[in-house]
Chains A and B, each alone.
Chain A
């Protein structure tokens, strides 16, 4: 009996130690959006699937898709606009898992922020003015333009200036820009000051339900390693569920602080939106149409075949 137990233990030990632990290299941006991934790592969900996740942070996120194509990463977190732009360029890109989605208005914290005394309230008021976005021709730029159009302005009459997220507040204060599209955590700290106010929440105002970000991979990965893809998705979904149930709790803040290096005290002031369990092709198609409206895409792309079946 003892021998059997010992044997079983040995088998288990060797099984969990060397057996098929597969390593996956995942490119991430150190922002709250990837907290479910880090939660799943921390809680051992990936390990239970026999996966070891090696996260490679890149601050701007500019290297995610190029790194994927070059084979440096197996999976990369990216936004929907970058994904569709890559697909248009003929890059062999696929969506493997859901990332960020705005399902409820009250979950949309990112905002168009202006100086409180500026009198700016709509897109019409921004004509002839300067608007700060982190990168031109990308997701934030697109939704800033779409909101300006939806609120009566002509986005072509607005000058978009590239301002990195951490500098957006300074640029507003120094009047280098008249409004800035700010994201978490910067928006929470800026709008807590009386000198600034959120004039709109472009994502939810333009497209409530928007699938902002996804985990991306290549067709090659999905065809060569379908089992691994399924394991990744399964473990990540458990991470998402845990994240949704534990938002704002100390253990979760600890995890966020661990990979963003933001201090926990500061994180307490930062709201966190819920995370989706599925990728929503209908929403990706709405984004695609917006991209065509604003001349980011030349021709429509069929989004559904780009998505890993099990992620739907």
Chain B
């Protein structure tokens, strides 16, 4: 057997191996899809055959129909957009304050001494629990929801910024000092870029929280958005559109996460994966 033959044989082996792994991967994916399909079929059967006897348990086909109708008429689009708008405002505010305070506390010992205890005390309070108190100060409109979402998003971003800065390689900092780079420039050119992967991770956690908290605040004090719609449909005894809204929420959450990952890859290419 010549060397060329050996190489070509091993190549074809590798090729068939990669086909095999691709097929395996597909089969594995299919298993996941199959599980979802079986669960949906069970849902349909349980509602149609009366295994579950409840007016709050519609067949999944009815939900699918309501989903298509809701998006077709633009109703679910309007609701999702209004929820996303509140969420985006709160998220942007929470992230901005989280990064700013995280950076301040990360580079300034005194700020850390003064502010850290206060932040740690506030941290365990679940955002929805303070809604009734905040109503007194902020009213019941969008400002309330935006602030509640911002509060919920603040903590993961803040903590990740802080720990990201604490974890910056000392050699980088010493190099900056050796070159007599100013504190501000060190922060923007050395510290923050080095901490960005950690900050981005915090922002990704926050985006999931933001959606949940927006919907909860709409449920408690809402007149619009998906959260209010879900409650309203429940009280109107129309479970199909209610579940259609919940499915829309799930899809929105999934797409937000995927979108964030894609943006992260593009803008933070040095992120370790």
Interface, chain A (partner B; CB < 8 A): 27, 30-31, 56-60, 62-63, 66-67, 69-73, 164-167, 169-170, 173, 185-186, 189, 260-263, 266
Instruction: Please determine whether B223 and A58 come into contact, CB atoms closer than 8 angstroms.
Output: yes
- B169 adjacent to chain A (CB < 8 Å): no
Contact residues of B between 110 and 150, Cβ < 8 Å to A: 132, 135-141
A62-B132, A189-B55 known; A262 vs B223 contact (CB < 8 Å) = no
Instruction: Please determine whether A63 and B232 come into contact, CB atoms closer than 8 angstroms.
Output: no
Chain A residues near B141 (CB-CB < 8 A): 72
Q: A59-B222, A70-B140, A166-B237 are in contact. List 20 more A-B contacts (CB 8 A).
A: A56-B223, A57-B223, A58-B140, A59-B219, A59-B231, A62-B220, A62-B221, A63-B140, A66-B136, A67-B139, A67-B140, A70-B136, A70-B139, A71-B139, A170-B55, A189-B237, A260-B235, A261-B233, A261-B236, A263-B236
- B21 adjacent to chain A (CB < 8 Å): no
What 9 A-B pairs have minimum CB-CB distances, sorted nearest first?
A: A72-B139, A59-B231, A261-B236, A66-B135, A67-B140, A72-B140, A262-B236, A63-B221, A56-B223
Chain A residues near B140 (CB-CB < 8 A): 27, 56, 58, 63, 66-67, 70, 72-73
Pairs across A and B, CB under 8 Å, 14 listed: A30-B232, A56-B223, A57-B223, A59-B234, A62-B132, A63-B140, A66-B140, A67-B139, A166-B235, A166-B237, A260-B235, A262-B237, A262-B238, A263-B236
A69-B136, A70-B135 known; A58 vs B237 contact (CB < 8 Å) = no
Instruction: Please determine whether B56 and A167 come into contact, CB atoms closer than 8 angstroms.
Output: yes
CA of A138 to CA of B99, assembled, Å: 43
Chain B residues near A30 (CB-CB < 8 A): 232, 235-236
A67-B139, A169-B55, A266-B237 known; A57 vs B132 contact (CB < 8 Å) = no
Q: B160 CB to closest chain A CB, in angstroms?
A: 33
Chain B residues near A27 (CB-CB < 8 A): 140
- B54 adjacent to chain A (CB < 8 Å): yes
Instruction: Please determine whether B220 and A60 come into contact, CB atoms closer than 8 angstroms.
Output: yes
CA of A263 to CA of B138, assembled, Å: 35
Give the total number of A-B pairs whose CB atoms are below 8 A apart.
81
Instruction: Please determine whether A166 and B136 come into contact, CB atoms closer than 8 angstroms.
Output: no
Classify chain B: how many residues form its interface, as a range: 20 to 34
CA of A266 to CA of B220, assembled, Å: 26
Encode B192-223 as 1/0 by CB contact (under 8 A) with A.
00000000000000000000000000011111
Chain A residues near B235 (CB-CB < 8 A): 30-31, 59, 165-166, 260
Instruction: Please determine whether B132 and A166 come into contact, CB atoms closer than 8 angstroms.
Output: no
Instruction: Please determine whether A58 and B222 come into contact, CB atoms closer than 8 angstroms.
Output: yes
Q: A264 CB to closest chain B CB, in angstroms?
A: 12
Instruction: Please determine whether B53 and A173 come into contact, CB atoms closer than 8 angstroms.
Output: yes
CA of A262 to CA of B220, assembled, Å: 20
Chain A residues near B222 (CB-CB < 8 A): 58-59
CA of A35 to CA of B195, assembled, Å: 57
- B155 adjacent to chain A (CB < 8 Å): no
Q: B216 CB to closest chain A CB, in angstroms?
A: 12
CA of A261 to CA of B238, assembled, Å: 9
Instruction: Please determine whether B135 and A63 come into contact, CB atoms closer than 8 angstroms.
Output: yes
Chain A residues near B234 (CB-CB < 8 A): 59, 164, 166
Chain A residues near B221 (CB-CB < 8 A): 58, 62-63, 67
- The residue of chain A having its C-beta at the shortest distance from the C-beta of B56 within the complex is A170
Q: A85 CB to closest chain B CB, in angstroms?
A: 14
Q: A60 CB to closest chain B CB, in angstroms?
A: 7
Contact residues of B between 40 and 54, Cβ < 8 Å to A: 53-54
Chain B residues near A165 (CB-CB < 8 A): 235
- The residue of chain A having its C-beta at the shortest distance from the C-beta of B231 within the complex is A59
Instruction: Please determine whether B132 and A261 come into contact, CB atoms closer than 8 angstroms.
Output: no
